[in-house]
Amino acid sequence: MASLIFLRTVGLFRTLPHTRRLATSRPVTFKVVTCPAHCAFCVLGLSKDAWSSKMALRTTGLGRHWSCCFSNDSSVRSYSTDNVLMNCWKCKEPFNKSPTFFCSSCKVLQPPDEGASFFNIMDCEDTFVLDMHKLQKRYLELQRSLHPDNFSQKSAEEQEYSAHQSALVNKAYQTLLKPLSRGLYMLELKGMRIDEGTHSGVDAEFLMELMEINEALEQAETPEEADRISQDTKGKLKGLTAQIDSALHAGELQAAKALLAQMKYFSNIEEKVKEKLSGFM
Asked if residue 138 and residue 31 are part of one domain, the reply reads yes
Task: Check residue 241 and give its pLDDT.
Answer: 96
What would the pLDDT profile of 130-179 be if each residue is shown by its tens digit? 999 999 999 999 999 999 999 999 999 999 999 999 999 999 999 999 99
Asked if residue 270 and residue 142 are part of one domain, the reply reads no
Q: Are 163 and 44 in contact (CB under 8 A)?
A: yes
Task: Check residue 52 and give its pLDDT.
Answer: 37
Asked if residue 68 and residue 122 are part of one domain, the reply reads yes
* Residue 79 scores a pLDDT above 90: no
Task: Check residue 143 and give its pLDDT.
Answer: 95
* Residue 5 scores a pLDDT above 70: no
Asked if residue 171 and residue 56 are part of one domain, the reply reads yes
* Residue 28 scores a pLDDT above 70: no
The CATH number of whichever domain residue 213 belongs to comes to: 1.20.1280.20
The total of structural domains in the chain comes to: 2
Asked if residue 49 and residue 153 are part of one domain, the reply reads yes
Q: Please tell me the distance from the alpha carbon of residue 241 to that of residue 200, in angstroms, as a whole number.
A: 18
The answer to whether residue 198 sits within a structural domain is no
The pLDDT-based confidence of 96 (bands split at 50, 70, 90) is confident
Asked if residue 221 and residue 133 are part of one domain, the reply reads no
Task: Check residue 18 and give its pLDDT.
Answer: 40
Task: Check residue 199 and give its pLDDT.
Answer: 56
* Residue 229 scores a pLDDT above 90: yes
Higher pLDDT, 103 or 57: 103
* Whether this model's pTM surpasses 0.75: no
Task: Check residue 193 and give its pLDDT.
Answer: 75
Asked if residue 158 and residue 219 are part of one domain, the reply reads no
Residue numbers of the domain that contains 218: 204-279
The answer to whether residue 131 sits within a structural domain is yes
Asked if residue 55 and residue 117 are part of one domain, the reply reads yes
Asked if residue 149 and residue 38 are part of one domain, the reply reads yes
The pLDDT-based confidence of 46 (bands split at 50, 70, 90) is very low
